[in-house]
């Protein structure tokens, strides 16, 4: 099989996305020092709409659609995504070839030194995620949750400007950009169950592109890949998009996978949460079984209400 001499990586243009794509670029270059690797910045729908909560924009793949179009028409050879942005169903002809080792999957609270449980009543907390909003409201109905959009730096500036008492972000992005000193508290999954694939990257490419698939294969982290497969199977069975209150997090120990899943109403007054364990070889079926368990316990009614806007 002929090895390519140059390849292009499609990526969003935010500082975090460029850091993540740059990290993969460096790993590929270490594998093949004679290969020319370039980054191609692509503006997505999610990047263009910054003044509206994502849940109101609608649709799936707000941060990946345009990049996938570039993959399909050959403008780029692979794409680097944050897995939590990737829809449950991919376009025909594309697949997630590789999932590298996961960063910290937890949510992180950033404040002026005050932990979540110590925030004064009525404090304004910023987050763009319905998943986070629902779980925070369940624990602290006294808090005022406000939408927060923009790049990581923009969100941190809004906190510093006094618009919020605290904001919630994915710990992985802060850690990748060397901003761990900004984290006031890591939120345990018991407090805020992470999004599907949170903390993991996905390398997407064309299924029939043998040289690219072969090139990327050494970057895969099997344990992370199994966990994300279970989480995404859970999401797929729920027919959930990226902007509904669905959470799922899998852990692997001694070839046994434990998956926790959650579906919540936007208000946080109803939460259906359960966990299952099984052999790692059954990761995807475990995700499906957990979704079906939640659906029978009321998750289907919650999701139907959200999709119908009632």
Catalytic residues: 85
Q: How many whole angstroms separate alpha carbon 284 and alpha carbon 261?
A: 13
Helix (H, G, I), strand (E, B) or coil at 26: helix
Q: How many whole angstroms separate alpha carbon 299 and alpha carbon 270?
A: 9
CA distances from 184 to 47, 110, 159 (A): 27, 5, 13
CB 302, CB 269: distance < 8 Å: no
- The closest of 134, 83, 125 to 305, measured between CA atoms, is 134
Six-digit token pair at 183?
């984290």
Six-digit token pair at 260?
């926790």
Pairing relation of β-strands 94-98 and 124-126? unpaired
- The closest of 180, 164, 165, 174 to 198, measured between CA atoms, is 174
- Chain-centroid distance of CA 106 in Å reads 11
């Amino acid at each position: 099989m002929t090895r390519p001499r140059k390849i292009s990586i499609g990526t969003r243009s935010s500082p975090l996305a460029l850091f993540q794509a740059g990290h993969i670029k460096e790993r590929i270059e270490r594998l093949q020092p004679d290969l020319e690797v370039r980054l191609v910045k692509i503006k997505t729908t999610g990047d263009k709409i910054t003044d509206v909560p994502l849940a109101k924009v609608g649709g799936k793949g707000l941060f990946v659609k345009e990049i996938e179009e570039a993959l399909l028409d050959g403008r780029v050879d692979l794409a680097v995504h944050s897995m939590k942005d990737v829809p449950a169903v991919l376009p025909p002809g594309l697949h997630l070839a590789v999932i590298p080792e996961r960063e910290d999957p937890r949510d992180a609270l950033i404040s002026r030194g005050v932990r979540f449980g110590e925030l004064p009543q009525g404090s304004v907390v910023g987050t763009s995620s319905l998943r986070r909003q629902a779980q925070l409201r369940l624990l602290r109905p006294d808090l005022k949750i406000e939408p927060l959009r923009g790049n990581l730096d923009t969100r941190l500036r809004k906190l510093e400007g006094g618009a919020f008492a605290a904001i919630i972000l994915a710990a992985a992005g802060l850690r990748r950009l060397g901003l761990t000193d900004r984290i006031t508290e890591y939120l345990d999954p018991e407090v805020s169950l992470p999004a599907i694939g949170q903390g993991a990257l996905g390398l997407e490419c064309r299924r029939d592109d043998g040289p690219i698939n072969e090139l990327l294969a050494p970057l895969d982290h099997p344990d992370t890949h199994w966990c994300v497969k279970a989480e995404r199977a859970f999401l797929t069975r729920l027919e959930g998009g990226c902007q509904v209150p669905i959470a799922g997090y899998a852990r692997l120990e001694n070839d046994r996978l434990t998956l926790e899943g959650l579906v919540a109403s936007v208000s946080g007054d109803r939460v259906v949460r359960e966990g299952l364990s099984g052999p790692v070889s059954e990761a995807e079926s475990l995700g499906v079984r957990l979704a079906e368990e939640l659906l029978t316990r009321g998750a289907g009614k919650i999701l139907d209400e959200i999709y119908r806007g009632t």
